[in-house]
Structures are given as C-alpha cells and as structure tokens.
Amino acid sequence: MAEPRGDEPVAVPRTIKQGIDFVYVDPQMSTVARRKQKPQNWLQRLFNPAANRRGAPNPLFDQLAQGLQQYQASWGRLPQTKIPAGAALKRGSTGKRVALLRTRLGLSGSGGYDDQLAQAVSSYQAVHGLGNPDGIAGKATIASLNRGSTYFARRIAINMERAYRLPAIRAFDRYVVVDSGAAEVYYFNRDRMADKMRVVVGAPKTKTPIMAVLMRNARVDPYWNVPPELVRSLTAKKVGEMGLSYFKDFHYEVLSDWGPNARIIDPKTVNWKGIASGKVKPTVHVRQLPGPWNSMRNMKFEMPNDFGIYLHDTPHDELFAQDERHLSNGCVRLEDYKRFAGWVFGYVPQSQNGLEAKVDLPRPVPVYMTYLTVAATANGVTFRPDIYGFDALAMPQMFGGSTEVATALDGTDLS
C-alpha cells in the first residue's frame, strides 16, 4: 500500500518552477493542457491578430488583451519621468518633486499639488492596486510610478499567458476556473461565465498551485483524515497536553491502520508519548468525524493530483467577508458549497445517515487552477498584489533579462 497522506496538501517542491506553467495536469487532460510550454511575448504578438487567433483563446484572455491595449493607450503613453524619493506629497505640497509628479501623470508642470493632481494620483492608485486611493503620493505610490509602464504592461502580458492556457473556445461544454490571485472561483457554461463566488485559497507560505485537473466525485459529510506527520506533531502533542479526552472533545476516532479493513481501536492502546518524541512511527489512522466541527464541514470535492489539492466546504464562513483570503494550507474553501454542488451535480447530494458517502459526478468536470493578478475592467485593467510572487518568477520566464524595446505595429513603445 502507498504511504498514507491524509487530507492535507503537499507543498510543491522548490525544484518545480511556478509562475506560468501548470505544475500538474491530469493525464486525461493532456490534449487540452500542458505542464510546460514556451510562453509568447504578447507585447509583440498582440497587435497581429493572425498570430494569436488559432484556437480562439479563452474569454479571459481576450478581456486582458483588450485591457492591455487600453492600458497602453492611457497610462502607457504618459511621460515616464522619474520622481526622487522623499516625503509624501499631498494637497498643498509644492516644489520640484510635485512638478515632476505632475509631468509623470500627464499634467502641466506648474500648478502645485492641486485637486486635479490629487485626482490623477487617486486614479493611478485605483488602477495599480495601491490600496485606498487617497490621492496622496506616498512612498508606495512613488515607487510604483517609478517602475514605469513597461513593468505593468509586462505584468498584463504574464496574466495573458496564464489566461491563454485556460480552455480555448469550445474545448468543453462547461468547466471551472479557480483564480487564486483574486481568491474567486468561476464556472463557465459554453464559454460564458455562469456564476462566481469567493473562495479562501493558500497562504503565501502554502500556495495553491497552478494545475489542470478533473473533478470526479464528492464526499458528503466527509471525515478529515489526519496525515501521519500531523499525528506526530499535532495529535500526539495534544494528547500529551489534554490527555485522552482530546479525542472525544474534538470528535476524533482512531483506527488500527490505513487499510480497507481497519478497525476502530481504543486510543489508550497507542503509544502517544513515543509518537510525539519521534521514536515510534505513527501507523494508526486518526480521523475527525463528520459534523459542523470538521474542517471540510459538509462536502469535499475530489480531484486526484500530486499535491493533495481539493475544494471543500468550511465551518469558517466569516472569512469570506474579508478582502484578503489567502489563508488556507493550499486547498480551496468554498463560500457556498450548495450553490457549487448544485452546478456540478445538478442537485445537492445528501448522506443518508450522517456518515461519509462518496458520490460520483455524472461526468468529470475540468478544473483549471490559475493565478491572475490583473483583472480586465470596462476602462482597461486593475492590478492586484502579487501575493505569491509568481509574477516576479514569471518575468524572467517571459522576458528573460532583456531590456530590448518591443514596438507594436501601431508604433506604441512597449519596452
């Protein structure tokens, strides 16, 4: 029997490059997704429709492509004037740095830090993901302006590359996209977004990886199977602190092993002290019973992959009200599991006796897990923080160390 893993994700090895490529692709999806592929320089190809129209890319790609053109036509055409570091600039400020800031944002160099400049700064902050757009040019805003439009155009291109790897038009009747950049999930019916909801995704230390997988079944009223390493570092430690009442108080049971014929055993027959010290290898199977206390609560949506990632319900509904939802160990927590189940199954499966039940989907549903740090808007794009640092990793993958000027067919300087 394979080494038991339990229900916690496995970290992506550092030897595997993240940033653009899928780190895992289900073998049955190899014709519609690839683990590695050479990225394209969309800054050069975007303005040549014949170069990138084969296979009609995903709608999210088209939206970002339009957003890039709008970004270049607005922010990209402004003077790329550098502004020296210094104190925050705000209404009433004067001096050379204010004049440079005005020039950088396309205004006359004279006029001081007036309402017009404050509005221009606020608009820049709103587009470039700088938190509350307060119209004050502080350290972060000045640093962002000094990066220049090239940096942000390249970030849009990186996100276009990720979106290009999502399902092409007519690849599937329906599919799911988990966007760990936005901490949202989108469901597509015939290439149109049918619905979306908030999710909780991996924290920066336990990132949700970029993958293409098949969701095959769900477990209603699931157990939470504690991984052997956590049996040592968590369960045995808790027993040492709280005694054997820990199991009853927190709704756990102990099985003799991980095999199909395992039997429930009395926790007092296990050498928890030896397990906690590392001298005894934990061979028992510890699992948390189904119920509102369970970390997966009512349903777990399974999709076999190398990293133990899945979608599930959660008892912590309060987290979905937060804007920052990069909080999990890598798995994806759903805001409304019933709505999601209703879409993938056509109904909401129920268990008959409150015990775990496996329910197969009518047919497997493709799930593409990506990471988008740029969102298309009616007027261009907005940028999100690069929480995972994947954009920084993707820069050399997409553009290398080159600073060569790329010029669009319409003459726009894209360097």
**Which distant-in-sequence residues (6+ apart) come within 8 Å of 208 by Cβ?**
178, 180, 201, 202, 309, 328, 330, 331, 332, 369, 371
Where are any strands of DSSP class E within 62-208? 174-179, 184-189, 192-202
Residue 241 CB neighbours (<10 A): 9
How, if at all, do strands 24-25 and 211-220 pair?
A: parallel
How many angstroms separate the first and last alpha carbons of the chain? 55
Beta bridge partners of 332: 311
CA nearest to 231, candidates 288, 290, 284: 284
How, if at all, do strands 192-202 and 311-312 pair?
A: unpaired
Catalytic residue IDs: 312, 331
Beta bridge partners of 302: 217
- Tell me the C-alpha distance between 70 and 81, whole Å: 21
- Tell me the C-alpha distance between 284 and 19, whole Å: 38
- Provide the 3-class DSSP secondary structure of residue 332: strand
Residue 363: its H or E element: strand 357-370
CA nearest to 164, candidates 265, 34, 295: 34
- What are the contacts of 35-42 at 24+ separation with CB within 8 A? 37/165, 39/161, 39/394, 39/397, 39/398, 40/161, 40/164, 41/157, 41/398, 41/399, 41/406, 42/68, 42/157, 42/160, 42/161, 42/164
CA nearest to 16, candidates 406, 414, 397, 405: 397
- Provide the 3-class DSSP secondary structure of residue 119: helix
What Å distances lie between residue 265 and 24, 231, 261, CA to CA?
37, 15, 12
CA nearest to 6, candidates 329, 272, 344: 329
